């Protein structure tokens, strides 16, 4: 069952974690990517992030988004 505001293309296989890349100022943009955790951690933009809650929100300037594969 799809949640409100969710499209069929947004659904991923079980085990993948939704990660929101967020740039605070000045544009306040966000992008959604998916990663499969290994030992409770995901690797995003050259850093390991502990997955505690889903979705995981990572503050990252948009200049680094280009190098972050979807």
Question: How many CB atoms within 10 Å of residue 21?
Answer: 22
57 within a domain of the structure (yes/no): yes
Q: Give the chain's domain count.
A: 1
Please, which pLDDT band fits residue 8 given cuts at 50, 70 and 90?
Answer: low
The tens digit of pLDDT for each residue in 11-55 reads 566 788 888 888 876 777 888 888 889 999 988 888 898 998 888
Is the per-residue pLDDT at 6 higher than 80? no
Q: Which domain holds residue 20?
A: 15-65
10 within a domain of the structure (yes/no): no
2 within a domain of the structure (yes/no): no
Residue 15's alpha-carbon distances to 4, 23, 25, 26, 59, in angstroms, are: 21, 26, 32, 33, 23
| Predicted TM-score of the model (pTM) | 0.66
**69 vs 17, more confident:** 17
């Amino acid at each position: 069952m799809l949640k409100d505001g969710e499209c069929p293309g947004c659904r991923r296989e079980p085990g993948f974690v939704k990660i929101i890349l967020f740039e605070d100022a000045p544009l306040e943009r966000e992008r959604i990517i998916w990663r499969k955790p290994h030992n409770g951690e995901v690797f995003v933009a050259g850093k390991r992030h502990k997955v505690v809650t889903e979705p995981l929100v990572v503050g990252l300037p948009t200049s680094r988004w280009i190098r972050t594969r979807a």
